[in-house]
Structure 1
Amino acid sequence: MDALLDEGPVAISVYDSDLNFVLQNAQLRRISGLSDADRRRGLTVSDTMPGPEGGAIRRRQRDVLESGRPRTDQVHEDDHVWAESLFPLVSTAGEPFAVGHVILDVTERVRARERLALINDMSSRIGNELDLVQTADELADAAVPEFADSAQVDLLGSVLDGSELAPGPVAADAVLRRVACQSVGPEAGANHSGNGPCAIPPRILAQGSPVLLREPEPGGGSQMIMPLSARGITLGTVVFARWSRPEPFGEDDLLLAEQVAARAGACLDNARRYLCERAAALALQRSLLPRSESRQAVEVATRYMPASGPHGLGGDWFDVIPLSGARVALVMGDAVGDGLQAAVTMGRLRTAVRTLADLDLEPDELLNRLNDQACRFVSDHGVTGVPSRTDAPDRGVDGGGVAFDTSAAGSTCLYAVYDPISLRCVLASAGHPPPLLAAPGGKPEAVDLPVGPPLGASSLPFEAREIALPEGGTLALYTDGLLDHRDGGAANPERLRSVLARPDLTPEAICDAVVETMTTTAPDDDATLLVARLRTLGPDRLAVWDLHGESREVAGVRALVRRQLVEWGLEHLTFTTELVASELVTNAIRYGSAPVQLRLIRDQSLICEVSDGNSTSPHLRRARTTDEGGRGLLLVAQFTRSWGTRYARRGKTIWAAQSVQENEGDIAQDLSSLMESMPE
């Protein structure tokens, strides 16, 4: 029994019914410093422990003796924490006749639990946003005053600049910049940050090891300098200091600080990588979006507003594509996803639309082919629904090793072709909201347009709608981010309508007015706006001749072209234009069918068009030595800036465009060189 009492880790004592001391074991003697049990016998705990603490223990003993129920308590004494257990000793008659008192030193256990709670609390307050400065602020705020009297966070200049970082030690002369500082001093609660350089011991950066500094004098304070790193990349340091509390930093505090610094380093690295990815995505998107360049057919202005969410960048895109016959295509789309994923998807869709637009397809046919391409994107990535971030091994992978899906399923697109000669517009939509149309002085209304399913969602054909547009009217294309954004309870489409109704505003002024209404709060989704003021090409810029399709008309065509160029003041283009017109008319008469029509259009370039009723497309080829013909299109391609074919529901049109600034002397020299290069 003596061995059981004396060898155990707990301190045991017994008090009789008068709460006088009866028995103690060796552990209690070591704790109390009273080794003579006989001297304590007959004394109460109040006698051996004067003051409020002894009185409190005696009251707890009395409570156990009178109630007959045991109790446990945690007692804090100086720098120790004790787990106390009091229980009654009961006679055979069931009456309490003494009190057992057991205590155990749980100081280290409690301190460890407190450190763990502090780590969890500090960690939960760090990294709530993907922002470097805010994360640094959160680290400083979380440490003061619970853990330290002050905390300052310094980051490498290369981290703040968004430079590419490599794992490994940092040069000892690397520049650190103060980002956040918190203190319990006279300016407690104020968080200060700046851009000034900070002096940190070189070995902290070079070796990446923490440093614990203590003042030699008691109460002189202490400091801990912790490196902030993630994935082997050093990002900066955090410095914790104590001076207003008696205990300096110890080894346990160093372990705690290392865990908090590891958490903060990971959060800072996430924010840094996000900023780099966002910058790359934004640069990619900006490089793919065209300039809002006005053309003869339309005066264009555009605005792009990033979202306020964690990614801040979506897949909105637009384009203004010149087409043959002085026409122009207005395109607005919204690629699914966000960040770099959306920018990549947007780039693929925009490239596909540009390529298909070069074929001069009708809007519904263009969307049908774009939908086929989107379905191939989906098939290539092995998904059947709207894409999302995933860890599938066959998806694209970003710089941080996170897989993402670049399929276009669920993306939307609106494609509109405006003809400034006929004042007609043909539109088709793949899941995109219809544009708003405002006649001069009229009320803006949404275009009555059948909206098909999003890209990649169905194989059903799209439907186009042809409408007449008023001269001087305004057409506004936008993405759903503009629809979803609300401020003060008023939806932006209504504001857009009210702005479009003002005929005195230019497209640039309309865009500015709409953006001003969104400055109080950023949109939840990125928003894009394209405003086009419709122009017309008057009769003075167009010449049309209907031909009978007879060979003898070719000579007359040259004379018609010559007279028209003189009227337009373009005599220097007479030689090439006669050549182009005669070759195209000859081909239409020889290989096409009636009706045959010749048009000259003076736009930013001089356009020659020949239409016939046959849908067979001509092919450019190099004639053999023995061929009597076959050189006509080669001549057209040589002396014009561009040429091509577009198809109507019946027949085709061959067109060729040449710069109005071209010098006839240079063309004659080029023609001479071309003739010399041809085989005899």
Structure 2
Amino acid sequence: MRGFSAGGGELVFSFAGIATAVLDDQGRVSRWSEAAAGLLGLTAGEVCGRPVRDLLAGECHRLTVGAGIPDSGRVLLRHRSGDTVDITFRVLRTEPAAEALVLLAPTHQVSHWEQGANVLRALLSQDRVGIGMHDTDLNVMWTNITSGMFGGTVLPEGSRLKDVLSPDEAEAAETALRRVLETGEPLIGKDLRVRSPRAPDRRLALSLSAFRVEDAHGDPAGVVAMFTDTPEQQRARHRMDLLHEAASRLGSSLDVVRTSEDLVGLLVPSLADMGWVELAEAVLEGDEPPKGTGAGELSLRRVAAAAEGVPGSATLLRPGDPVPRLPHSPELWEFQHGRAVIVDREKAAVVLGDEAHLALFVPDDGHSGIWAPLYARGLVLGSVTLWRTGREDPFEPDDAELLAEIASRAALSVDNARRYTREHRVALALQQRLLPAATTDTPAAETTGMYLPAGGGGAGISGDWYDVIPLPSFRLALVAGDVVGHGLNATAAMGSLRTAVRTLADLELDPTELLTHLDDLVQRLSDGADAESLVGATCLYAVYDPVTHRCAVACAGHPPPVVIRPDGTTHVIHLSPGPPLGVGGMPFESVTADLEPGSVLALYTDGLIERTDGDVDAGLRWLTEHLAAAYDPGRPLGDTGRALLAGLGDDPPRDDIALLLARTRAVPERSTASWEFPADPAVVAEARRAAARQLEQWGLEEMAFTTELIVSELVTNAVRYAGGPVGLRLICEDVLVCEVTDPSNTQPRLRRAGWTDEGGRGLFLVAQLATRWGSRYSPRGKTIWVEQSLAPAPVDLSVLV
């Protein structure tokens, strides 16, 4: 029999295999269906009007409706062929009770139906197997899924999966069901992650199987979906998920404390209600913990803790607290040899030894715990402890194995972080020892330097440096450099370059010449070196003269300096940048800038201006703006530098930063005097008299004798060996400087004259009278300079004899 739904879709009612007959009140057959005729091979004409007992095989009682035909039963009927047919029947009474409808079916078929019904009934009654019948539009037609299954997810009739699941989950599930509906191929065991309405932050792992249902014509009528959830599957997936998350989360930081926090955050609440991590004191310092088997040798400190919905016990150790010495026990021995230990409250009391320790290590409601070592390379770096308080099920050996595996991975991450901490500490200490004093105060300038290492587990200490080098005649060399690379190799290379710059600076070379020599040095250091030992660097070298207020600057691939004028405005000294050190084959050029006294010259490394977007020009604009905002003429330079670095924000820099600020000074005009003489021996006396008069004006008459001797010797040598013009300059600040300039580039040499020699004692005499002396060169000749202390020590002239 067929009917039609309101939408026009055909609905088929299937009674295949069921025969019908109608009996009157005398037990005669009054109606006989085609199915009944097929069942016994007898037509309606042959059966109707005859008593039903004639159809029975063997003897039977007279059966009439009034005589009480049973409502159901099993009987043998005679087939036309003479064989018997085992039939199961059911009688449906009518009102008034004149006739009865009898349903007949082969007994074997009824048994099959009953078995199928029993199987379906048993399947639908399972609380871990959810079944849903979906129509061709994937609407739910019926389901056994209730609110007590799968974390509270309910599928009411007429709903869709997208009504109860997240869009991503629903799309994945419905795509799979639609493929089954279209292809007819069953789906077996597709993993689904379903968000529970009761706990949206947690997901359930379900297995989806599905098969297509067809109508009597073989057309798709819908799809049956089966959702299964077994504890074993859940535990296996949970274990794999934890291991996968451990692999992705642990080791992302090179800080031992942060790694410990990641570990306890991974395990709580996934595996326990409460947990903490303790590390050896030596590990926190970057050192290896001692190898020991005694309980007191652990020397642990709690560094991280977490609890999920559990009020922490007031007596428990807090992060930062040292762990007291524990009594020796078999459990502790197992722990120190890398094995996880499961304990309950009673066992913990035995292991810990007394109630005071129990209060420090066991939460109030803790009933099951695991203690696992962070064990790497045969060393116990620390421990991780988990407790269950709200959950009723205790830890099992599988949980201990899982924690041991995760703790093993965490131990390697902690050990890597420990090694990084040690290298970082050593490199930072070396870097700080190699850098000059943070502040200097000279007649040329007051300076302050700052070094900020890279942080956040990044590349770490590199070869950024700055230097302040006092030069003769009150000049001052300012240096900023950056060695390519990070770690101890870069720090060592920085130390070599800084030493080289100081050595070359003592030669009083022009900035371009100094960088040329430094470039040659870097090339020689890199010849034959392996990849890790290759040296590459940038450098900026500036020389400020407080007498002329001029600053000569040259750079090798380094960012340009920034000047803050006394009025607070800023400008960049634009340079023609040469190649980085070690490239070779390219010239360096210098630029000379006039600096007003009270100006601040800022030298820095690229970590200060290379922002996360990599826009150096934007970083340079940021620097000039923030320098102007941070600068105040009355503010100490250190405060200005700290205010500038504070503008970088709370995030640690991605690269090291070196910053050098120099506030320039000027030697007053009254403190300098200069003269120029022709190359005539007669001018020697004139030069001596001029120097004596100037010393008298400065109130330094007591220095006249030694100064006249120095002037006499230097001017005489210039006139005799170099020609004219000969320049003489005196500068008086914290020391007295005498300079003699001539057009020759001949190097003056100090020698000891023999007792019979008539000459050769002049420069030796100068060296004995002076605190120090030297020479420097320019395109127009050389300058010999001599420094004397304003409170000179007595000179023993007997050495000249």
TM bucket by the smaller chain? 0.7 to 0.9
Residues in 2 aligned to 1:54 and 1:418: alpha-carbon distance in whole angstroms: 86
Show the counterpart of 1:148: 272
Show the counterpart of 1:115: 239
Does the CA contact (< 8 Å) of 1:167 and 1:231 recur in 2? no
| Identical positions, percent | 42
Residues in 2 aligned to 1:601 and 1:217: alpha-carbon distance in whole angstroms: 87
Show the counterpart of 1:326: 474
Deviation readout 1:361-389 (Å, 9 max, x if unpaired): 11111111111122223324245xxxxxx
Show the counterpart of 1:408: 535
Q: Give how far 1:412 is off.
A: 1.8
Judged with a 3 Å threshold, the aligned counterparts in structure 2 of structure 1 residues 587 and 234 are, in CA distance, closer, same or farther, namely farther
SS at match of 2:645: helix
Q: Which deviates further from its counterpart, 198-207 or 173-182?
A: 198-207
Q: Give how far 1:124 is off.
A: 2.4
Show the counterpart of 2:411: 265
Question: Cα RMSD over matched residues?
Answer: 4.3
Q: Give how far 1:616 is off.
A: 0.9
Q: Give how far 1:132 is off.
A: 1.8
- Return the index of the structure with the highest Cα Rg: 2
Deviation readout 1:552-572 (Å, 9 max, x if unpaired): 444444444333333323344
Does the CA contact (< 8 Å) of 2:336 and 2:380 recur in 1? no
Q: Which deviates further from its counterpart, 222-231 or 644-653?
A: 222-231
Show the counterpart of 2:295: 172
What amino acid is aligned across from residue 173 of structure 1 in structure 2? G
Q: Give how far 1:19 is off.
A: 7.1
Do structure 1's residue 136 and structure 2's residue 260 form an aligned pair? Answer: yes
Residues in 1 aligned to 2:479 and 2:131: alpha-carbon distance in whole angstroms: 87
Judged with a 3 Å threshold, the aligned counterparts in structure 2 of structure 1 residues 619 and 118 are, in CA distance, closer, same or farther, namely same
Q: Which deviates further from its counterpart, 464-473 or 280-289?
A: 464-473
Residues in 2 aligned to 1:602 and 1:184: alpha-carbon distance in whole angstroms: 74
Deviation readout 1:573-621 (Å, 9 max, x if unpaired): 3444333333323332333222222222213222122221111102223
SS at match of 1:448: coil
Aligned mate of 1:238, from 384, 394, 409: 384
Residues in 2 aligned to 1:621 and 1:17: alpha-carbon distance in whole angstroms: 129
Does the CA contact (< 8 Å) of 2:447 and 2:661 recur in 1? yes
Show the counterpart of 1:617: 747
Q: Give how far 1:332 is off.
A: 1.9
TM-score normalised over the length of structure 1? 0.75
Show the counterpart of 1:434: 560
Report which structure shows greater RCO (CA 8 Å, sep ≥6).
1
Does the CA contact (< 8 Å) of 1:371 and 1:459 recur in 2? no
Does the CA contact (< 8 Å) of 2:345 and 2:368 recur in 1? no
Does the CA contact (< 8 Å) of 1:170 and 1:234 recur in 2? no
Deviation readout 1:621-644 (Å, 9 max, x if unpaired): 333454433333333333433221
Deviation readout 1:282-317 (Å, 9 max, x if unpaired): 222222222221211123233333444424544332
Deviation readout 1:312-336 (Å, 9 max, x if unpaired): 5443322221112221112222222
Does the CA contact (< 8 Å) of 1:297 and 1:420 recur in 2? yes
Aligned mate of 1:212, from 341, 360, 363: 341
Show the counterpart of 1:224: 370
Judged with a 3 Å threshold, the aligned counterparts in structure 2 of structure 1 residues 130 and 633 are, in CA distance, closer, same or farther, namely same
Aligned mate of 2:448, from 289, 301, 304: 301
Residues in 2 aligned to 1:54 and 1:171: alpha-carbon distance in whole angstroms: 52
Residues in 2 aligned to 1:227 and 1:446: alpha-carbon distance in whole angstroms: 57
Residues in 1 aligned to 2:128 and 2:377: alpha-carbon distance in whole angstroms: 57
Q: Give how far 1:460 is off.
A: 0.8
Judged with a 3 Å threshold, the aligned counterparts in structure 2 of structure 1 residues 481 and 85 are, in CA distance, closer, same or farther, namely closer
Residues in 1 aligned to 2:289 and 2:307: alpha-carbon distance in whole angstroms: 33
Does the CA contact (< 8 Å) of 2:340 and 2:404 recur in 1? no
Show the counterpart of 1:78: none
Residues in 2 aligned to 1:634 and 1:17: alpha-carbon distance in whole angstroms: 130
Do structure 1's residue 528 and structure 2's residue 658 form an aligned pair? Answer: yes
Aligned mate of 1:493, from 623, 647, 655: 623
Do structure 1's residue 196 and structure 2's residue 342 form an aligned pair? Answer: no
Residues in 2 aligned to 1:214 and 1:19: alpha-carbon distance in whole angstroms: 55
What amino acid is aligned across from residue 266 of structure 1 in structure 2? L
Q: Give how far 1:231 is off.
A: 2.9
What amino acid is aligned across from residue 361 of structure 1 in structure 2? L
Judged with a 3 Å threshold, the aligned counterparts in structure 2 of structure 1 residues 433 and 189 are, in CA distance, closer, same or farther, namely farther
Q: Give how far 1:142 is off.
A: 0.9
Residues in 1 aligned to 2:477 and 2:132: alpha-carbon distance in whole angstroms: 91
Judged with a 3 Å threshold, the aligned counterparts in structure 2 of structure 1 residues 71 and 495 are, in CA distance, closer, same or farther, namely closer
Do structure 1's residue 342 and structure 2's residue 507 form an aligned pair? Answer: no
What amino acid is aligned across from residue 318 of structure 1 in structure 2? Y
Residues in 2 aligned to 1:46 and 1:539: alpha-carbon distance in whole angstroms: 110
Does the CA contact (< 8 Å) of 1:323 and 1:329 recur in 2? yes
Q: Give how far 1:647 is off.
A: 0.6
What amino acid is aligned across from residue 451 of structure 2 in structure 1? Y
Judged with a 3 Å threshold, the aligned counterparts in structure 2 of structure 1 residues 378 and 609 are, in CA distance, closer, same or farther, namely same
Residues in 2 aligned to 1:635 and 1:445: alpha-carbon distance in whole angstroms: 48
Q: Which deviates further from its counterpart, 609-618 or 552-561?
A: 552-561
Does the CA contact (< 8 Å) of 1:495 and 1:514 recur in 2? no
Q: Give how far 1:247 is off.
A: 4.3
What amino acid is aligned across from residue 213 of structure 1 in structure 2? I
Return 5+ residue gaps in structure 2 as ranges: 1-107, 134-142, 144-182, 192-204, 212-229, 348-364
Q: Give how far 1:54 is off.
A: 10
Does the CA contact (< 8 Å) of 1:317 and 1:528 recur in 2? yes
Show the counterpart of 2:781: 651
What amino acid is aligned across from residue 293 of structure 1 in structure 2? T
Does the CA contact (< 8 Å) of 2:274 and 2:310 recur in 1? no
Deviation readout 1:387-412 (Å, 9 max, x if unpaired): xxxxxxxx4xxxxxxxxx4x332x22
Does the CA contact (< 8 Å) of 1:333 and 1:479 recur in 2? yes
Q: Give how far 1:463 is off.
A: 1.0
Judged with a 3 Å threshold, the aligned counterparts in structure 2 of structure 1 residues 595 and 382 are, in CA distance, closer, same or farther, namely farther
Show the counterpart of 2:514: 366
Show the counterpart of 1:26: none
Do structure 1's residue 281 and structure 2's residue 427 form an aligned pair? Answer: yes
Judged with a 3 Å threshold, the aligned counterparts in structure 2 of structure 1 residues 640 and 223 are, in CA distance, closer, same or farther, namely same
Show the counterpart of 2:669: 539
Do structure 1's residue 461 and structure 2's residue 587 form an aligned pair? Answer: yes
What amino acid is aligned across from residue 437 of structure 1 in structure 2? V
What amino acid is aligned across from residue 773 of structure 2 in structure 1? W
Q: Which deviates further from its counterpart, 198-207 or 585-594?
A: 198-207
Does the CA contact (< 8 Å) of 1:180 and 1:192 recur in 2? no
Do structure 1's residue 379 and structure 2's residue 527 form an aligned pair? Answer: yes
Aligned mate of 2:731, from 572, 581, 601: 601
Return 5+ residue gaps in structure 1 as ranges: 1-15, 23-40, 76-80, 88-105, 384-394, 396-404
SS at match of 1:320: strand
Judged with a 3 Å threshold, the aligned counterparts in structure 2 of structure 1 residues 661 and 55 are, in CA distance, closer, same or farther, namely closer
Residues in 1 aligned to 2:592 and 2:583: alpha-carbon distance in whole angstroms: 25
Show the counterpart of 1:514: 644
Q: Which deviates further from its counterpart, 431-440 or 50-59?
A: 50-59
Deviation readout 1:417-460 (Å, 9 max, x if unpaired): 12122222211121222222344437422223212222223421
**Aligned residues between the structures:** 590
SS at match of 2:501: helix
Does the CA contact (< 8 Å) of 1:554 and 1:586 recur in 2? yes
Aligned mate of 1:356, from 499, 504, 520: 504
Q: Give how far 1:655 is off.
A: 1.4
What amino acid is aligned across from residue 239 of structure 2 in structure 1? R
Does the CA contact (< 8 Å) of 2:286 and 2:418 recur in 1? no
Does the CA contact (< 8 Å) of 2:123 and 2:129 recur in 1? no
TM-score normalised over the length of structure 2? 0.65
Show the counterpart of 2:713: 583
